[in-house]
Structure 1
């Protein structure tokens, strides 16, 4: 398929005109000019969402760590109850 040179020239001119309009109006990339206050508000919202997500992850982690400690305590008590060592022997070993 052959493309007419005039077609390419016309398309290029239209594209150039549109690009000039976009840049002139301050609409590069985002489609419209955004004020610094709008950017601040948008970023505050993003930061708030990120902090909420972080807080939820920390809460989940703390709960998992507490659950692990409980499981370790139960395991330790079971081992103590099943051991033939005395309380004093175990305490001496733990405090060494």
Structure 2
């Protein structure tokens, strides 16, 4: 009889733990979606800022592209 009671209690605890996991997963998924939206907005703002900087620059597109690419090549060499 004691084993049956212990098994019932264990099953109840397992069910409660599963419910908590489901709730936490939902909250986690919402937080991830919110974070992704914010990251997307930041990326868009940075791209817009970058394009404005290129448009207002005295340098040509090719000069800017060469500068960016040259820095990447230097980073890889280090």
The answer to whether residue 28 in structure 2 is matched with residue 54 in structure 1 is yes
Q: CA deviation at 1:78?
A: 0.5
TM-score (norm 1): 0.64
TM-score (norm 2): 0.78
In 2, the alpha carbon distance for the partners of 1:87 and 1:75 equals: 15
Q: CA deviation at 1:87?
A: 1.0
Q: CA deviation at 1:77?
A: 0.5
> Structure 2: any 5+ residue segments left out of the alignment?
1-5, 71-78
Runs of 4 or more, structure 1, over 6 Å off, are none
Matched pairs, number: 64
Secondary structure of 1:49 counterpart:
helix
User: What is the aligned-residue RMSD (CA, Å)?
Assistant: 1.3
Q: Which has the higher contact order (CA 8 A, sep 6+)?
A: 2
Which of residues 46, 51, 57 in structure 2 aligns to 1:72? 46
Pick the structure with greater CA Rg.
Answer: 1
> Structure 1: any 5+ residue segments left out of the alignment?
1-32
Secondary structure of 2:58 counterpart:
coil
Secondary structure of 1:35 counterpart:
helix
